[in-house]
Amino acid sequence: MQARIRSARRTDEVMTVVFYAVGGFFLVLILILAGYIIINGLRSYYPGIFGTTSSGIGNQLFNTVYLVFWSLLISVPIGVLAGIYMAEYAKPNKLTKFLRISIESLSSLPSIVVGLFGYLVFILMTGAKWNLMAGALAVSILSLPSITTTTEDAMKSLPKSYKAGSMALGATHWTTIIKVLLPACFPRIITGVILAAGRGFGEAAALLYTAGQSTVINWNNWNLTSKTCPLNPFRPGETLALHIWVMRTEGSLNPNSEKIANFSAAVLVIIVLLFSLAARMITKHIGRKAVGEKA
């Protein structure tokens, strides 16, 4: 008996070291990759690179943030509601099984396929031109599976006493979901939102057929119906990810194409990092308020 216990402990220690080594390897790999992109990009900086001319990335940076905003505005409510349905209302039957298979299949679709679907449905079938809203809808399709799955898993992982205690006090099922379950699993839902935002910031293939590769913005024009208004979501809008691809493939006419591509990549990495940190800080603040601690 003692020999088995010692053997189990040795196995546990060995596997702990192995998993720490694997985790450390990937952490170092991510740090090296991110560091290389950021340092190489910052070294490519030159005055005027944040401008709104052809030698700057100001318009593309705004398009990227604006498109991700619209995609989250569309995908987060739908994904969270779908996750709530799958966790709290869907009964185990053929329909539920089909829905789960559909969600898993959607999460594995290549982005180029979603882009072609978006081009067919959001551009050709509507008779529209390339626009940011079509790109946001395409990115939302890619983001929905992660938000839905994260929400469902988060709600199912909560102790059953949360739901039982709330309903024992007379709360309805929906009130329990809104007032008790969702706040308790909010941090994990934010993880899904961060993943969705990261997908939106770095997406290129799906936007190639939907958002377009041109950007004409007049920063003095705030008429939302105008095609040159910055806030008009139905105008074409090239994002940073697309701009990097253009600079690397068709940027021979621009003498600063390599510098623009390198700096754009660094800006993208920094934006994703800042967004993740900000989301974590907000989640931590809300979590402290939920349990009555000082924020």
Q: Which of 218, 244, 246 is nearest to 59 (CA)?
A: 218
Answer whether residue 141 shows pLDDT above 70: yes
Tell me what pLDDT residue 1 has: 67
Cα separation, 241 vs 61, in Å, equals 10
Out of 46-60, 128-142, 250-264, give the one with best mean pLDDT: 128-142
Whether pLDDT at 284 is above 80: no
Rounded-to-integer distance, Cα 203 and Cα 63, Å: 12
- How far is it, in rounded angstroms, from Cα 76 to Cα 263? 30
pLDDT in tens, 196-242: 888 888 888 888 889 888 888 888 889 888 888 999 999 998 899 88
Say what the pTM is.
0.86
Mean pLDDT of the chain: 86
pLDDT score at 291:
55
Interatomic CA distance for residues 159 and 264, integer angstroms: 44
What pLDDT was estimated at residue 293? Answer: 57
Phi, psi angles (nearest 5°) of residue 229 = -70, 130
Q: What is the DSSP letter of 124?
A: I
For 165-203, what is each residue's pLDDT tens digit?
888 888 888 888 888 888 888 888 888 888 888 888 888
Task: Look at residue 171 in the predicted model and tell me its pLDDT.
Answer: 83
Give the CA count within 13 Å in the CB-facing half-sphere of 255: 1
CATH architecture of 50-290: Orthogonal Bundle (1.10)
Tokens representing 8? Answer: 């189990």
Helix (H, G, I), strand (E, B) or coil at 105: helix
Nearest CA to 219 among 32, 25, 43, 63? 63
Share of the chain above pLDDT 70, in %: 95
